[in-house]
């Protein structure tokens, strides 16, 4: 064991004291370093948090700035688009106006389509009102083409009716009316809507057609009717007439109604028989009266679809008028214009209805029991179509072609669907037995 001297003991003691003093310092230093480390860690965390918050602030500022410029740009774009839109609307409006004016000037049917679709603008007492389904525009399209027809015999007014201008050429205007209005008259005059009167020439007429064509100097004509089609009109469609019921005082009267029926078979008196002809006609409920005969029947476009011809007259009947389909009339008008006589086909026989007991007895014609429809042959002309085919007095004609024959009127109607020179099968009863022969039709003289 080493024994230390005093100097060494002192040195050792000093070292121990230094160590003892150093321990608290070290502890303090470690504690301080630990505290600084914690504080540093917290500052680091704060530093990590602060940039996030700063980034959020920066992002917010960037967003606001971006939103500001976006809205500014949108406003600028909107203003430009609005201006362009305004220019486009103005140009479209002007262009549309020019097109509509051009169409209304050069395509008159456009006006009809607009008018008939419903609402018309009408000025009353300088105030514009709207009237639904008015026929005024359609009436205007025909009104001045309609004339009052007055017929004279022995310089006295004998009958009156209506007609309409359907055609003009370089010199004349041509008027259609009914044959029964002008038959056997010495002079025929027409009065226009402007009260101009003119004498006319009857170019041609036919009682079975019940049509006549008149010719007038062109200088009197201010309007020509538009010809339509009865085939395009449906039951229930609105129709109207313009005519002169009861003569001069009521000329230019307009009446309207609906198309009540098509292809009506109506028997009329033409010759010596009370009912010797059947007409296929249009039925209407528009009011027509004596004086309307020969006037136009029109659709809502103001186009002629028929020629008013007759009405049923009875105390129990109301609103049953009839018109000749315009197609049927126009198919014969050229012949009438040229003054040609209509050549109807003929069989060459004289006939009696099965209800005409007096004539049946007179010609000794016996009708088999149970037969109530047909036409009895009471006379056969020598060398006629019927004579050549072997038809004899006493035969009862029951069919023409494949069509049943009820009476004389229906036989004539079916016969006149053929032309002279055509061959047709005729079925008849002879001694109660049915026979069929082929007949080559003759023509009326």
CATH number at residue 366: 2.30.42.10
Q: Is 276 a catalytic residue?
A: no
Of the three residues 281, 302, 337, the one that is the final residue of a domain is 337
Q: What is the C-alpha radius of gyration for the chain, rounded to an integer number of angstroms?
A: 52
Identify whether residues 272 and 167 lie together within a single domain. Answer: yes
Mean pLDDT of the chain: 82
Extract the tokens encoding 123: 């000025």
- Number of structural domains (the chain) is 3
More confident residue, 49 or 217: 217
Identify whether residues 223 and 314 lie together within a single domain. Answer: yes
Nearest to 268, CA basis, from 373, 363, 427, 408: 408
Nearest to 295, CA basis, from 142, 91, 108: 142
| pLDDT score of 116 | 43
Which pTM value belongs to this model? 0.68
Identify whether residues 187 and 274 lie together within a single domain. Answer: yes
Range of the domain at 132: 109-140
Tell me: pLDDT of 21 over 70: no
Of the three residues 281, 316, 337, the one that is the final residue of a domain is 337
Is 95 part of a structural domain of the chain? no
Catalytic residue among 112, 260, 293, 309: 293
Contact 243/291 with Cβ under 8 angstroms? Answer: yes
Identify whether residues 153 and 239 lie together within a single domain. Answer: yes
Buried/exposed code over 339-364 (b: 16+ C-beta within 10 A; e: otherwise): eeebebbbbbbebbbbebeeebeeee
Catalytic residue among 115, 144, 206, 210: 210
| pLDDT score of 112 | 45
Local structure of 116: helix, strand or coil: helix
Identify whether residues 214 and 299 lie together within a single domain. Answer: yes
What is the spatial distance between Cα 144 and Cα 192, in angstroms, rounded to a whole number?
7
Cα 230 to its chain centre, rounded Å, is 11
Tell me: pLDDT of 39 over 90: no
Identify whether residues 280 and 198 lie together within a single domain. Answer: yes
Identify whether residues 180 and 294 lie together within a single domain. Answer: yes
What is the spatial distance between Cα 368 and Cα 370, in angstroms, rounded to a whole number?
6
Catalytic residue among 180, 206, 230, 260: 180
Looking up residue 172, the CATH number of its domain turns out to be 2.40.10.120
Tell me: pLDDT of 131 over 50: yes
Q: Is 180 a catalytic residue?
A: yes
Q: Alpha-carbon torsion 342, 347, 350, 352, what sign?
A: negative
Averaged pLDDT, 38-58: 54
Identify whether residues 364 and 397 lie together within a single domain. Answer: yes
Identify whether residues 155 and 232 lie together within a single domain. Answer: yes
How large a percentage of the chain has pLDDT more than 90?
59
Local structure of 127: helix, strand or coil: strand
Identify whether residues 407 and 422 lie together within a single domain. Answer: yes
Q: Is 332 a catalytic residue?
A: no
Nearest to 246, CA basis, from 152, 159, 156: 159
Identify whether residues 370 and 385 lie together within a single domain. Answer: yes
């Amino acid at each position: 064991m080493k024994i230390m001297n005093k100097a060494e003991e002192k040195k050792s003691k000093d070292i121990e004291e230094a160590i003892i003093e150093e321990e608290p310092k070290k502890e303090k230093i470690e504690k301080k370093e630990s505290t600084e480390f914690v504080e540093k860690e917290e500052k680091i965390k704060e530093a990590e948090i602060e940039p996030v918050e700063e980034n959020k602030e920066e992002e917010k500022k960037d967003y606001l700035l971006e939103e500001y410029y976006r809205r500014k740009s949108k406003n600028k774009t909107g203003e430009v688009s609005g201006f362009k839109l305004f220019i486009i609307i103005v140009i479209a409006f002007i262009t549309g106006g020019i097109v509509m004016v051009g169409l209304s000037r050069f395509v008159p049917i456009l006006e009809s389509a607009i008018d008939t679709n419903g609402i018309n603008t009408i000025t009353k007492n300088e105030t514009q009102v709207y009237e639904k389904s008015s026929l005024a525009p359609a009436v205007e399209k025909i009104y001045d083409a309609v004339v009052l027809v007055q017929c004279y015999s022995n310089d006295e007014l004998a009958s009156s009716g209506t007609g309409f201008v359907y055609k003009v050429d370089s010199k004349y205007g041509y008027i259609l009316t009914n044959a029964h209005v002008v038959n056997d008259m010495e002079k025929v005059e027409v009065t226009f809507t402007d009260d101009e009167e003119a004498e006319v020439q009857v170019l041609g007429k036919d009682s079975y057609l019940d049509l006549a064509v008149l010719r007038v100097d062109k200088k009197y004509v201010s309007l020509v009717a538009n010809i339509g089609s009865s085939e395009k009109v449906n039951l229930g469609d609105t129709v109207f007439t313009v005519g002169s019921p009861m003569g001069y005082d009521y000329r230019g009267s307009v009446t309207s109604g609906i198309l009540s029926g098509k292809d009506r078979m109506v028997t009329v008196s033409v010759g010596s028989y009370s009912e010797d002809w059947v007409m296929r006609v249009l039925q209407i409920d528009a009011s027509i009266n004596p004086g309307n005969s020969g006037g136009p029947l029109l659709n809502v476009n103001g186009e002629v679809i028929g020629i008013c011809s007759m009405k049923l007259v009875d105390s129990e009947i109301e609103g049953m008028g009839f018109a000749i389909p315009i197609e049927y009339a126009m198919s014969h008008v050229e012949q009438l214009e040229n003054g040609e006589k209509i050549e109807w086909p003929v069989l060459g026989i004289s006939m009696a209805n099965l209800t005409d007991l007096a004539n049946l007895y007179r010609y000794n014609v016996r009708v088999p029991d149970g037969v109530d429809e047909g036409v009895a042959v009471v006379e056969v002309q020598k060398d006629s179509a019927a004579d050549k085919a072997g038809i004899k007095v006493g035969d009862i004609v029951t069919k023409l072609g494949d069509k049943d024959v009820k009476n004389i009127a229906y036989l004539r109607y079916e016969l006149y669907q053929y032309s002279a020179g055509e061959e047709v099968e005729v079925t008849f009863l002879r001694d109660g037995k049915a026979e069929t022969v082929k007949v080559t039709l003759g023509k009326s003289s």
